[in-house]
Structures are given as C-alpha cells and as structure tokens.
C-alpha cells in the first residue's frame, strides 16, 4: 500500500441492489484492517453535498451482510449535477477530512464520481451495484445473481399452477435497456418464450411460436418479458394482442416490479461484494483512482470508470441458442 489515507468515504447511489450492504461492510472493515477511518455517506451524492456523514467501525456493520437494501440509503441528487452542488460536496469532503471515495452504484453514479474526480482531483473507486448486469468491465454486477433467483422462484410458483390446459402466463421482469435478467431467468425458469430489448421478436412471431409450442404438446406456456421489450407497448397490450389471436387461451399477467431489487443476497453476491469491497479500498491505497472494481474470469479486475460508463454489455448469443434448444 503506497498511499496513506486517513479517511475514506463510502456511499450507495442509484437504485438498490442486493449485496450493497455486504459491500459497505467489506469497505468499512478493509479500512479498519489498514487503520484507515471510514465515513459512511448517507443518501448518495445528496448526502455528500449535505455532509450527511457518520463514522463507521467494524462493529457498526455487524449483521448487515445478509440484508437487502442499503443501510446508507440512496437518493437521486439533481444538485450534484450542478457545479455549485459539487463544490458544496467538495467543501463537505474537505471539512470532514475524507481523502477518497468508494461509490457503490451503476452508470449514473459512476459518471458523478468521474466528474467529481476531474474537477477536484479527488480519488474515486466504483463498485458496480445494480441488478441489471449492464456495466461494462465486470462479468457480474452486485445483485444480479440474487435478482435471477427471485425471478426464477416467482416463475416456479407460477408454473406450479400451470396444471390446467390452455394457459399462458406473461411475466414482466426488469430490464429497460438490457435483457440479461429476462434471458437468464427465462432459461432458468424454463420459459417457453423470452422477449428482450436486444431482439425484436414481433407480436406475430410470438403468436406463431406459442402455437407451435402447443402443437409440440405443451399444455401451457410461460412468456418472460423484459420491461424494455418493444414487441408490445406494454405487457397488458401484448396480452390483449395474443388473446385476439389465440382466444381459446386464458392469459395471466404478473408484473414482478421492485421485489427484484430487494431480498437477502445470494451467497454469490455476498462473496462478490466482500471481494469487491476489499479490492476497492486496497486499490485506493495503492494509489489507483477513477476505476471500477469488476470480476473477470473469477478474479478481481479494475476497469477505468469512463470505459465502465461508456462500454456496452452484450447478450450472449450462446444463451439465446441454448434457450431455443432446451424449450423444444
């Protein structure tokens, strides 16, 4: 460790994701391990502006590793998008003695961190916390694995009830721009159809495909739809369209919503969070800044924040093929 910070801050920003608390715990305890003080910043960048800080010790993060949500709370800050807002934040930071910052969040949170770094030359390190798994530079984001289990668990229950004939179940899952959750949870849940933003299936192909499923002997089908899918305007419109073309079916809709962002994190997410928290603090102590901690090939890896923000993740085409084959 070639840097000797006295105080490091940690915040969560943007939408919650399971594992954020485990990451906070790891940041706080890694600081303590290296005799660095740790300041918890409440409500993200807004709390940075308002100086809403609290010193955190290893004992203040007892028993949070398994909690969903974030003990530091989260918020959007319009003010931090202004130069004045960021100046206020910097003054708070200086006043507190904070010398570096760990930001747990997604794209928007990292952009905020980069700007703050540029304007004040303030060391910043990102940890990708979002269920969408849409951050470049890491194979897995914090909370994604948990969200997949939540979706699969919900669809398992729905499938239990598919013992009547001629039932279609439409399940809307999160993913405005990316279909990672829909595709992976869809495969995991054995969904017959998976509609994602990256692929424009079209309503008619959906109907055709559902009819084919039925011919293949499937008495009921489950369709997983990412929010951002453009096949129908929304899941209820799509349902209506399908019903017009397959009037013999009963169609049922579930909109899972924010339950996907919460819940006890999976072991995978907790271990990932612990590793990322350690890596984030130690990277700062090694003098690195403006990076995001990621996981690549099961090892911790750093990715420059600007790449993480600008880069695009892509749907694995192998998975699309696997989905087609295993739902035959």
Residues between 59 and 78 with contacts to a second copy, criterion CB under 8 A: 59, 62-63, 65-70, 73-76
Q: Give the three-class secondary structure for 55.
A: strand
Is 40 one of the annotated binding-site residues? no
User: What are 98's two structure tokens?
Assistant: 């904070």
Tell how strand 53-56 and strand 37-41 pair up. antiparallel
Q: Which of 132, 134, 229, 269 is catalytic?
A: 132
d(CA 223, CA 120): 49
The answer on whether 213 is annotated among ligand-binding residues is no
Would you say 280 or 290 has its CB closer to a second copy? 280
- Alpha carbon 51 to its chain's center: 27
Active site residue 132: yes
- Cβ contacts of residue 257 below 8 Å, gap of 6+? none
Residue from 163, 233, 247, 248 binding a second copy (CB under 8 A) = 163
User: Which range in 88-96, 103-111, 239-247, 262-270 contacts a second copy by CB under 8 A?
Assistant: 262-270
Q: Is 260 in the site for a second copy (CB under 8 A)?
A: yes
216: left (phi over 0), alpha (psi -120 to 50) or beta: alpha
Between 162 and 243, name the residue whose CB sits nearer to a second copy.
162
3-state secondary structure (DSSP) of residue 38: strand
35: phi then psi, degrees, rounded to nearest 5: 55, 40
Out of 8, 9, 10, 29, point to the residue binding a second copy (CB under 8 A).
29
Site for a second copy contains 274 (CB under 8 A): yes
Tell me how many residues contact a second copy (CB under 8 A). Answer: 92
User: Residue 233 in contact with residue 202, Cβ under 8 Å?
Assistant: no
By CB under 8 A, tell whether 25 contacts a second copy: yes
Q: Cα–Cα distance between 263 and 19 in angstroms, integer?
A: 9
Of 24, 89, 103, 151, the one binding a second copy by CB under 8 A = 151
| Residue 192 marked ligand-binding | yes
Closest approach of a second copy to the CB of residue 86, in Å: 21
Q: Hey, is 230 helix, strand or coil? A: coil
Of 71 and 201, CB closest to a second copy:
71
User: Which residue ranges make up the annotated binding site for ATP?
Assistant: 15, 76-77, 106-109
User: Which residue ranges make up the annotated binding site for ADP?
Assistant: 25-29, 159, 190-192, 218-220
- Active-site residues, by number, are 132
């Amino acid at each position: 460790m070639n840097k000797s910070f006295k105080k490091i801050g940690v915040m969560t920003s943007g939408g919650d994701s399971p594992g954020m608390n485990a990451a906070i715990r790891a940041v706080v305890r890694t600081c303590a391990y290296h005799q660095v003080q740790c300041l918890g910043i409440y409500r993200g960048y807004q709390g940075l502006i308002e100086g809403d800080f609290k010193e955190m010790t290893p004992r203040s993060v007892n028993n949070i590793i398994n909690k969903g949500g974030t003990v530091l709370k989260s918020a959007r800050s319009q003010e931090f998008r202004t130069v004045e807002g960021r100046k206020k934040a910097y003054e708070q930071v200086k006043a507190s003695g904070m010398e570096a910052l760990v930001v747990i969040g997604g794209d928007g949170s990292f952009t905020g961190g980069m700007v703050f770094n540029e304007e004040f030359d303030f060391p910043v390190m990102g940890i990708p916390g979002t269920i969408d798994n849409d951050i470049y530079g890491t194979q897995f984001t914090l909370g994604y694995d948990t969200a997949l289990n939540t979706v699969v668990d919900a669809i398992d229950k729905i499938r239990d009830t598919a013992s009547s004939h001629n039932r279609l179940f439409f399940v809307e899952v999160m993913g405005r721009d990316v279909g990672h959750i829909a595709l992976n949870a869809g495969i995991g849940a054995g969904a017959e159809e998976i509609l994602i933003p990256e692929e424009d299936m079209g309503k008619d192909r959906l109907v055709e495909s559902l009819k084919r499923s039925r011919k293949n002997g499937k008495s009921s089908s489950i369709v997983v739809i990412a929010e951002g899918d453009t096949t129908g305007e929304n899941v209820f419109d799509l349902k209506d369209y399908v019903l017009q073309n397959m009037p013999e079916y009963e169609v049922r809709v579930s909109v899972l919503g924010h339950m996907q962002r919460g819940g006890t994190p999976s072991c995978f997410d907790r271990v990932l969070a612990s590793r990322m928290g350690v890596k984030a603090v130690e990277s700062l102590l090694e003098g690195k800044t403006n990076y995001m901690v990621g996981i690549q090939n099961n090892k911790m890896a750093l990715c420059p924040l600007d790449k993480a923000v600008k880069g695009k993740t892509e749907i694995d085409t192998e998975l699309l093929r696997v989905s087609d084959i295993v739902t035959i």
